[in-house]
Amino acid sequence: MIVENIHDVQKKIKEACKRAGREETEVTLIAVSKTKPVSMILEAYQAGMREFGENKPQELRDKARELDFPLNWHMIGNLQKNKIKYVVGTACMIHSIDSVSLAEAVNAEAEKKGTRCDILLEVNIAAEDSKHGFNPEQIEETVRILCRCKNLRIRGIMTVAPYTENAEENRMYFRKMHEILIDINHKNIDNIFMDVLSMGMTSDYEVAIEEGATMVRVGTGIFGERMYPQKDNQGKK
Residues that bind ligand PLP (CB under 6 A): 32, 34, 55, 76-77, 160, 201-203, 217-221
The DSSP bridge pattern shows strands 51-54 and 28-32 to be parallel
93, 123, 144, 182 from 138: Cα distances, Å:
21, 9, 10, 15
CB of 226 to ligand PLP, least distance (A): 7
Nearer to ligand PLP, 139 or 201 (CB): 201
Nearer to ligand PLP, 133 or 136 (CB): 133
E strands in 15-158: 28-32, 51-54, 72-75, 93-97, 117-122, 152-158
**Alpha-carbon span 103 to 90, nearest angstrom:** 16
CB of 4 to ligand PLP, least distance (A): 16
Residue with CB nearest ligand PLP?
A: 219
**Of 216, 133, 144, 132, residue with least CA distance to 184:** 144
CB of 187 to ligand PLP, least distance (A): 27
Element containing residue 57 per DSSP (H, E)? helix 57-66
Nearer to ligand PLP, 29 or 103 (CB): 29
CB of 130 to ligand PLP, least distance (A): 13
CB of 77 to ligand PLP, least distance (A): 5
CB of 7 to ligand PLP, least distance (A): 16
**Alpha-carbon span 192 to 89, nearest angstrom:** 22
**Alpha-carbon span 4 to 22, nearest angstrom:** 24
Nearer to ligand PLP, 54 or 210 (CB): 54
CB of 154 to ligand PLP, least distance (A): 18
Nearer to ligand PLP, 6 or 160 (CB): 160
Nearer to ligand PLP, 30 or 149 (CB): 30
**Alpha-carbon span 214 to 97, nearest angstrom:** 18
149: helix, coil or strand?
A: coil
Nearer to ligand PLP, 98 or 109 (CB): 98
**Of 224, 206, 198, 207, residue with least CA distance to 30:** 198
